[in-house]
Amino acid sequence: MKKPIYLIADQTYLISDYKLVNYYLAIGSDKAAVIDTGMGYGPIIDDIKSLTDKPLVVLITHGHPDHCGGAYAFDEIFMHGADETFAKETYTNEFRSYYADSRVPERFPGKGNAEAIKATIPASTPPFTYTPLIDGQVFDLGDRKLETIHTPGHSDGSVCFLDRKNRLLFSGDTVNRSIIIFGEHEVNYQAIKTYQDSLQRLWEYEADFDYLVVGHDEPLLDKTIIQKYLAITKELLEHGAEGAYEERGIRKGWVYRYDSAELWYRCLS
Ligand SMILES: [Zn+2]
Ligand SMILES: [Zn+2]
C-alpha cells in the first residue's frame, strides 16, 4: 500500500496516513520539518526521503497516538510535555491495530483496507524520546520559520505552528472540521473554557495567516472556521445552549454544530 502525497502549498506536502490522519512536510532552505507523524503505519521515512534530503526536525501537534505514533522513525522530536502520559500509554502496536479497525469503516471504507493497513505496522516500534516544546519557540528552517503557539483544549499539550512566510497555521486537532473535547461532565465546561481561550489566542495572530493546515480530512481550511468554533464555545458557555447526545463512529458524546464546524464535548472516548 502507498500513502497518498499531495503538494498543498509552496514546499509543503500532505502525507495522508491512509485517509485516517494527516501529517505534513514543510521544507525550508536549510532544514525540513515533519509536522506530526501519523499513527505509525509504514512506510514513513522512505516517503519523506523521496521528497527531501534536508536534515529533519519533527514537530508534534499533540500526543494523541494518531499524531505521534510514527515517531519511532525519527531522531529529533519536539512535543509538549503535558501530553506525555497519554502518548506513552497509547504508543503500542495493539493500539495501532485497534485504531485501523475502529476508524477505517468510517474514513477509508473498503474490503480489506484495515487488514492491508495493519500489515504495514513494523514489528519493532521502539519508544521515542523528545524535547519538550515551549510556547513561543521558533524553529528556523532557513527561508521559513515555524512558531509554536500552545493551544490546550483538545488535549493539554496541544500546540499549533505558525508559518508566517506562507501564511499557514498548522493546527492539528485544535481546529479542523470536527473537534473533540474530552472529559467528564463536571470538568468539561472548564475544558471548553480552556479551549475558548486558545481559540481567542489564535485569532490574535489572524493577520499572519490565511489557511489552517489541519490534522484530519481535507487539509486546508479558511481561517474563519476559528470564528465558528468561537461562536460555538460562546453559545455553550455564555448563552446556556446545549448540544445533543450522539454516537457516530468512534465518537460518543454531546455535539453542537455551527455551519461547517462541530464541537463534540463530554466525550469519554
Ligand atoms: Zn487528537
Ligand atoms: Zn487526531
Question: According to the model, what pLDDT value does residue 188 have?
Answer: 84
Residue 267: pLDDT above 90? no
Instruction: State percent of the chain over pLDDT 90.
Output: 91
Can the peptide bond before residue 43 be classed as cis, meaning omega within 30 degrees of 0?
A: yes
Task: Label residue 186 by pLDDT band (50, 70, 90).
Answer: low
Task: Label residue 100 by pLDDT band (50, 70, 90).
Answer: very high
Question: According to the model, what pLDDT value does residue 222 have?
Answer: 98
Give the Å distance between the CA of 29 and the centre of ligand 1: 30
Give the Å distance between the CA of 41 and the centre of ligand 2: 14
Strand partners, 162: 147, 169
Nearest CA-CA partner of 106 in 216, 243, 190: 216
Give the Å distance between the CA of 215 and the centre of ligand 2: 6
Nearest CA-CA partner of 223 in 158, 168, 155, 147: 168
Give the Å distance between the CA of 214 and the centre of ligand 1: 11
Give the Å distance between the CA of 145 and the centre of ligand 2: 24
Give the Å distance between the CA of 187 and the centre of ligand 2: 22
Give the Å distance between the CA of 257 and the centre of ligand 2: 19
Give the Å distance between the CA of 154 and the centre of ligand 2: 10
Helix H or strand E encompassing 189: helix 185-203
Residue 185: pLDDT above 80? no
Predicted model pTM: 0.97
Nearest-ligand number for the alpha carbon of 155: 1
3-class state of residue 145 by DSSP: strand
Q: Is the dihedral of CA 164, 166, 167, 171 positive or negative?
A: negative
Task: Label residue 269 by pLDDT band (50, 70, 90).
Answer: low
Ligand 1 ion: Cβ-proximal residues, 5 Å cutoff: 64, 173
Q: Give the fold, CATH level 3, of 5-176+187-230.
A: Metallo-beta-lactamase; Chain A (3.60.15)
Give the Å distance between the CA of 222 and the centre of ligand 1: 20
Give the Å distance between the CA of 47 and the centre of ligand 1: 23
Give the Å distance between the CA of 21 and the centre of ligand 2: 6
Ligand 2 ion: Cβ-proximal residues, 5 Å cutoff: 66, 173, 215
Q: Which residue has the cell 466525550?
A: 267
Give the Å distance between the CA of 62 and the centre of ligand 2: 9
Spatial contact of 233 and 264, defined as CB atoms under 8 Å apart? no
Count the alpha carbons within 13 Å of 244 in the hemisphere toward its beta carbon.
4
Starting from the edge strand earliest in sequence, which strands make up the sheet with 5-9, in order?
Answer: 5-9, 12-16, 22-27, 32-35, 56-59, 77-79, 131-132
Nearest CA-CA partner of 161 in 146, 172, 141: 146
Give the Å distance between the CA of 85 and the centre of ligand 2: 16
Nearest-ligand number for the alpha carbon of 157: 1
Q: Which residue has the cell 501564511?
A: 167
Give the Å distance between the CA of 56 and the centre of ligand 2: 22
Top-confidence residue, 106 or 184: 106
